[in-house]
Chains A and B, each alone.
Chain A
């Protein structure tokens, strides 16, 4: 195993992670819900009158986060997307289907589920991490994309 010391950012990642934890904690305290992004988005597909506004408000917050980061702190997020269009579409379909079928994603299962010691979320997190490791290994080292 070879560590990529140039990319490794333990401190900002730990601090950023704590902010994610604060957001998830505030969310459940104030709104009584799990901050699971996939579930909040998928609820918009078949909108109900009473719960569309809050879902949209949260999604808009996420979308405007880069602008607000630039405005308040002068921070511009690094976003490097090297996948081609076909890979993007396939990845999107799989992520959407999988999050819906598996009842959650990296936020709902990963952050919130592990924080509340849910056995289902632990199984889900180990499953998607395992599948992620395997997929990158196959793509980068076996096929060589």
Chain B
């Protein structure tokens, strides 16, 4: 029974996160690009999104640091790595370049897909291919998805 509640909770948190993206304006690629365009007509909204998210997140992760397990059972899967590696930096730079081209990152792309935008679907499919290319050819020296 608890397993089914767990799935409902996953679904509900997905919706909640999507609402956060919609309300903050981050589900709109043009708004992301407006933030990344510091030399143009700059929209600093994303800074306020990060402030709101991290302010709450700091409290949330502080509470979690006192816990030993998750509410729905099982251990906490929280990354413990501290090493700054080349894949971390190179991967993030490549990610940022793609983010700057279309203004999409994974979460907002799924929300835009749900709003019925065909381009968001194409973006998500290309993203999956990009992930698979990394898994196939570049993951020998790195355990991927340890961070999220």
Chain A residues at the B interface, C-beta cutoff of 8 Å? 1-4, 7-43, 45-46, 53-54, 57-69, 75-83, 85, 87-121, 123-125, 127-137, 139-141
Contacts and interface: CB of A to CB of B under 8 A. Distances in A.
A19 B127 contact: no
Contact of B53 (A18, A41, A54, A135): A18
Interface string B17-41: 1111111111111110110111111
A71 B17 CA distance: 16
A7 B31 contact: yes
**By DSSP majority rule, is chain A's interface helix, strand, loop, or mixed?**
helix
A120 B57 CA distance: 17
Q: Which 4 pairs, one residue from A and one from B, show the smallest C-beta to C-beta distance?
A: A36-B148, A61-B14, A65-B18, A25-B60
A45 to B, nearest CB: 6
A120 B19 contact: no
A39 B142 CA distance: 14
Given A26-B16, A116-B61, A101 B94 contact: yes
Given A119-B84, A129-B96, A39 B102 contact: no
Contacts of A87: 101-102
A59 B78 CA distance: 20
Given A18-B55, A22-B16, A37-B106, A79 B97 contact: no
Contacts of A66: 18, 22, 27, 111, 114-115
B120 A81 contact: yes
Interface string B58-88: 1111011101011110111111011110011
